[in-house]
């Protein structure tokens, strides 16, 4: 069996480095490309040596989708258009982990999924995706009798707020309760106003080097249910992304998520 050649966007970033390591160590994948900005001083540096490991034979370079079987992108929205165009042009599946996409970019992703397989998720952790099922079940049983609050913690370098995972959790809850997330979500609070029935509070905390922590509280008269997920390191996201890449390589064109990859639907 030939190993799947993985291309990694944002290779010099935190997740990029973790993806390089995980790809090189996985028995069924190999590094096909590691991409950085055209202005980067790292262009030409061996990707394996860059992360402090063995020589990979793949140099950090500008984007070239012709050399890989699947693209993994955990970079930034600014690089989205180029990565998506490369994948559509070369007919390669895309595992998209970039959060904070604009409405226009979301629409482009939907359109591209008519031509290639795309896995798009706010979080690639197996634990988080199992948590989404737990949240949906809890929300379905308790309905609007429970007051729901979502609290997420991330490192001080994270740009978007709330996190993509927090929004995934809110979406799972609102769908289970027959709500519209646009009407139900309250992002932080300020001023003098009572909580409304069905509100879902979403609170983003930023500081230190926290990889990612999410807690959802279902508060009722007399009892509280808490569902919490804590990521100990970024390896869990890289492992999930590679699992998604191997799965996507076998799928027809379409827009999928980690619930599809893990067969949780």
Any binding-site annotation on 11? yes
Residues 55 and 78: beta-carbon distance below 8 Å = no
Catalytic entry in 158, 190, 203, 229: 158
123 is in an annotated binding site: yes
- Annotated ligand binding at 165? The verdict is yes
91 catalytic per annotation = no
> CB–CB of 200/173 below 8 Å?
yes
Region for 212 from its dihedrals, namely left if φ exceeds 0, alpha if ψ lies in -120 to 50, beta otherwise: left
What is the rounded CA–CA span in Å between residue 97 and residue 107?
Answer: 16
Q: Which of 154, 157, 214, 265 is catalytic?
A: 154
Q: How far, in Å, are 5, 10, 143, 229, 240 from residue 246 at the CA level?
A: 10, 20, 37, 25, 10
Binding residue per annotation — 124? yes
55 is in an annotated binding site: yes
Q: Is the peptide bond before 216 cis (omega within 30 degrees of 0)?
A: no
CA distance 171 to 121: 12
Annotated binding residue 13: yes
Say whether 97 counts as a known binding-site residue.
yes
Catalytic annotation on 26? no
Confirm whether residue 207 is marked as ligand binding.
no
Residue 5, annotated ligand binder? Answer: no
Q: Which residues are annotated as a binding site for NADP(+)?
A: 55
Active-site annotation, residues: 154, 158
Q: Which residues are annotated as a binding site?
A: 10-15, 49, 55, 97-99, 121-124, 155, 164-165
Q: Which residues are annotated as a binding site for (S)-2,3,4,5-tetrahydrodipicolinate?
A: 155, 164-165
Q: Which residues are annotated as a binding site for NAD(+)?
A: 10-15, 49, 97-99, 121-124
């Amino acid at each position: 069996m030939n190993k799947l050649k993985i291309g990694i966007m944002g290779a010099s970033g935190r997740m990029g480095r973790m993806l390089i390591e995980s790809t090189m160590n996985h028995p069924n994948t190999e590094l096909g490309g590691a991409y950085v900005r055209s202005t980067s001083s790292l262009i030409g540096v061996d990707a394996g040596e860059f992360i402090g490991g063995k020589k990979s034979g793949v140099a950090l370079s500008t984007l070239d989708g012709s050399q890989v079987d699947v693209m993994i992108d955990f970079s930034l929205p600014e690089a989205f258009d180029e990565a998506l165009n490369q994948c559509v042009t070369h007919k390669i599946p895309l595992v998209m982990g970039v959060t904070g996409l604009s409405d226009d970019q979301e629409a482009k992703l939907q359109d591209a999924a008519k031509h290639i397989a795309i896995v798009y998720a706010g979080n690639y952790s197996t634990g988080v995706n199992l948590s989404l099922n737990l949240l949906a079940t809890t929300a379905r049983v308790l309905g609007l009798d429970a007051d729901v609050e979502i609290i997420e913690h991330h490192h001080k370098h994270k740009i978007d707020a709330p996190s993509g995972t927090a929004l995934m959790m809110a979406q799972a809850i609102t769908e289970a309760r027959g709500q519209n997330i646009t009407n139900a979500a309250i992002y932080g609070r300020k001023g003098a106003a009572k909580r409304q029935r069905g509100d879902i509070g979403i609170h983003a905390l930023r500081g230190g080097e926290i990889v990612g922590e999410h807690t959802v509280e279902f508060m009722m008269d007399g009892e509280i249910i808490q569902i919490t997920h804590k990521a100990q390191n970024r390896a869990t996201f890289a492992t999930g992304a590679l699992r998604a890449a191997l799965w996507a390589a076998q799928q027809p064109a379409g827009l999928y998520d980690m619930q599809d990859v893990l067969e949780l639907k």
